Chains A and B, each alone.
Chain A
Amino acid sequence: MIPAQFEYVRAASADEAVALLGEHGDEAKLLAGGHSLLPLMKLRLAAPSVLIDVGRLRDLSYVSDGGDHVAIGALTRHHDVQRSSLLQSSMPLLPYVAGLVGDPQVRHRGTIGGSLAHGDPASDLPAAILALGGTLVIQGPGGAREVAATDFFRGFLETALGPDELLTEIRVPKMGGAGWSYQKFNRRAQDWAIVGVAAVGAQAGGGVALVNMASVPVRAASVEQAVASGASVQDAAASAAEGLDPPGDLNASPEFRRHLATVLVRRALEEVASPR
């Protein structure tokens, strides 16, 4: 399978990528690791007429200590997130989740920024960043702006990124030793989650986020409120699917996903509460 024809241009800097986006408009797509976009293009589910390759912008691949948070360059690969000792010590949830994305070959190419900008509700990393209360730094023609992860995911494969904007950095608050859990339920090792749950303890904000339970990656607001108001794990988990309209597909009906969400949220909250 080969993609439809397109023009390929390589950006030498973030500024050049933004300028190229401005030049080509919404006919253009950014190419980072390509592990979300190229499969879609091969299936002809996406057919951008211009690909702007930002994959060589090594200055956007870093993990750096920002004091109360860690700043991660958008082009940092899953493999490097997984193996970062700074992330392992300051927010163990994130490297753990990065290590569950796809398989080793995918993690050698796929990037954290690419995964977030793709905005797939079935992906692992958006839920992790939502639960951790991350902030996304976006560069456009007029400069940089910051968007909270909770405001970033707008619709199915739609984000707050404008057609001439580039995600450059993800800032994530340190977890301060809080408990955490990531529950990924799938049928085969390398698959997307049928349902997934990312959760962190109260010292880290108490965020709980769900994979594949809506058309976008979502926070489980009802669970978070229940936990904050002192509900039991059992009662909080029972509200996991409240207000959500999960998709149905070959792997699972919407009803099964709602059931899975309550079970996985219960397991996640139990793990958050029990020290590792």
Chain B
Amino acid sequence: MMINGSRQEHEVEPRQLLVQFIRESAGLTGTNIGCDTSSCGACTVLLEGESVKSCTLLAAQADGASITTIEGLAGADGTLHPVQQAFHENHGLQCGYCTPGMVMAAVSLIEENPSLDEAAVREGLEGNLCRCTGYHNIVKAVLAAAGAGA
């Protein structure tokens, strides 16, 4: 499969999860494992541009697919993606554990619905849990990124 534009070809067991493939086979550890039960969203990545929970996909299901992880968002020169920049400016994180998944979910949400309001952001992030922030600054960041034409 292609991860962040580079080809990743590895032999896998049928039961290997996509998140293990990303972290262990491809060595991209920005994608976190949180609950491991498709509840918390920490492992969210983009599959063909759409948010998915990589703990609930087999690597084999994503065979040949194009995956984007948090490492694939920033530009080659280190320029942050507009959603990353908005999280930075709005202090949209505290401990940071949920942040990669939160950012990837937000990228997909904004892509699907560029005219988001606060209610739509809160509803659109229902698949991502944050135990620190109370969500306020995350919602602010996503609204800022949506307004910035992310």
Contact = CB atoms under 8 A, between A and B. Distances in A.
A109 interface: yes
B58 A38 contact: yes
Contacts of B90: none
Given A6-B15, A51-B14, A189 B56 contact: no
A171 B109 CA distance: 30
A2 interface: yes
B50 A108 contact: yes
A39 B41 contact: no
A34 interface: yes
Contacts of A1: 36-37
A43 B55 CA distance: 13
Interface string B125-139: 011100000000000
B85 interface: no
A24 to B, nearest CB: 14
B121 to A, nearest CB: 12
A103 B129 CA distance: 11
A186 to B, nearest CB: 11
Interface string B13-41: 11111001000000000000000111101
Contacts of B47: 108
Contacts of B38: 35, 39, 102, 105-106
Contacts of B14: 5-8, 51
Contacts of B41: 103, 105
Nearest to B49: A108
Interface residues of A, number: 29
Interface in A1-56: 1-8, 10, 31, 34-35, 38-39, 42-43, 51, 53, 55
A88 interface: no
B123 interface: yes
18 contacts: A5-B13, A5-B14, A5-B15, A6-B14, A8-B14, A8-B60, A35-B38, A38-B57, A39-B37, A39-B56, A42-B36, A53-B60, A102-B38, A103-B128, A104-B124, A106-B53, A108-B50, A190-B126
Interface of B: 13-17, 20, 36-39, 41, 44, 47, 50-53, 56-58, 60-61, 105, 108-109, 123-124, 126-128
Interface of A: 1-8, 10, 31, 34-35, 38-39, 42-43, 51, 53, 55, 79, 102-106, 108-109, 189-190
